[in-house]
């Protein structure tokens, strides 16, 4: 006697959904799983960064470079003007946590960004390499303005 899988038997009798139907159900019922593969972290985020004991404006830009690699830039605006820097070696620690290395004229260090479930904002902390102190770095995604 030949054994067949329950899926094959169900499909033969018209009871099994097609792969397309399963995919649509996955996206409809479980959007968090669909987003987790390549979340929409890319974009420009406007927020604040703790800098010399106060909060200054920062624009953080994240871009996909390659299939699974994020990198970025940032511009901090304070009373002395703008400081431009870059974000490199970005790695997802889990679906909503991104860890990068920040680099600018003042040095370099760690940055951890914890995104909300829709990737519209993040709450983060930065530190210097070798330093124990952690400082605020947050942002909310700029939405495209209507034309």
Give 64-98 pLDDT, tens digit per residue.
887 778 899 999 999 999 999 999 999 988 889 99
Was domain 43-141 assigned CATH 2.40.128? yes
Q: Where are the domains of the chain?
A: 43-141
Q: How many CA atoms lie within 13 A of 14 on its CB side?
A: 0
pLDDT reported for residue 39:
65
Distances (CA, A) of 110 to 81, 98, 107, 123, 141: 23, 11, 11, 14, 21
User: What pLDDT, in 10s, does the model give residues 8-38?
Assistant: 444 555 555 555 443 433 344 444 443 345 5
Mean pLDDT across the stretch 140-146? Answer: 79
Give residue for tokens 């499909």: 11
Distances (CA, A) of 35 to 19, 27, 44, 106, 119: 19, 9, 19, 36, 10
Who wins on pLDDT, 126 or 1? 126
pTM above 0.75, yes or no: no
User: What pLDDT, in 10s, does the model give residues 31-50?
Assistant: 444 334 556 899 999 999 99
pLDDT reported for residue 25:
36
**Cβ atoms of residues 53 and 47 within 8 Å:** no
């Amino acid at each position: 006697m030949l054994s067949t899988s329950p899926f094959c038997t169900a499909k033969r009798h018209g009871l099994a959904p097609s792969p397309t139907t399963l995919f649509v159900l996955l996206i409809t019922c479980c959007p968090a799983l669909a987003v987790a593969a390549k979340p929409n972290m890319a974009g420009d985020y406007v927020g604040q960064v703790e800098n010399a004991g106060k909060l200054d404006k920062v624009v953080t830009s994240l871009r996909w470079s390659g299939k699974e690699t994020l990198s970025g830039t940032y511009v901090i605006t304070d009373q002395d003007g703008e400081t431009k820097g870059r974000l490199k070696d970005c790695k997802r620690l889990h679906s909503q946590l991104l860890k990068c290395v920040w680099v600018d004229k003042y040095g370099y260090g760690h940055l951890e960004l914890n995104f909300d479930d829709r990737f519209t904002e993040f709450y983060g902390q930065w530190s210097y390499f070798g330093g124990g102190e952690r400082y605020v770095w947050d942002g909310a995604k700029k939405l495209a303005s209507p034309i």
